[in-house]
Amino acid sequence: MKPVRFDPEKNLAPMPFDKRHFLLARELKGRGLPFEPHVGCFVWDSQKAISVESPFPDRVYFILSLPRFLDIFGSKANIVEKLVWLPTWHQARLLSRKMGIDNDQIAALWQDQSEPAPGEELLGLYQLMIDGLKGGNKGKG
């Protein structure tokens, strides 16, 4: 069966990831954001470690089968080392709560009282988490 790739001209993107998200996610990783690979996580393969082409743009993969990723990388530690986790909005909100980021800080992302464009709030959450990690608060993973 031939794989069907995501078509940004016809399909609604499942997540709003772009280069800005990748760079902030890489910074989150560099600052020690805990990542336990599991089903339901989006990851960015910036090192081109996965030989199979992603159905999503820009080498973004979705962990649907953790055993498949373990076959590729050999261990969870190698997955964490080689890939960059792209927390979803929901995951970022849960992480923010664990890190002690309060609702007022999150509400400030909506400064002009209008809804942020898709992906913009997630960028703001990533930045709040980076700021939290700068202060030494890594949460519980």
Per-residue pLDDT tens over the stretch 11-61: 888 888 999 999 999 999 999 999 999 999 999 999 999 999 898 889 999
Tokens representing residue 9 in the block: 């001209």
How many structural domains compose the chain?
A: 1
Q: Please, what is the average pLDDT of the chain?
A: 90
Say if 119 falls within a structural domain.
yes
Whether residue 77 lies inside any domain: the answer is yes
Please report, rounded to a whole number, the percentage of residues in the chain having pLDDT higher than 90: 65
Q: How high is the pLDDT of residue 140?
A: 47
In a domain, 8, yes or no: no
Which residues neighbour 113 within 8 Å (Cβ) at sequence distance 6 or greater?
none
Is residue 14 a part of any domain in this protein?
A: no
Determine, yes or no, domain membership for 10.
no
141 within some domain: no
Q: Is 66 within a domain?
A: yes
Contact between 44 and 84 (Cβ < 8 Å): yes
Domain that holds residue 67: 19-133
User: Among 56, 42, 51, 52, which residue's Cα sits nearest to residue 7?
Assistant: 56
Contact 63, 41 (CB under 8 A): yes
Contact indicator for 63, 40 with CB cutoff of 8 Å:
yes
Say if 140 falls within a structural domain: no
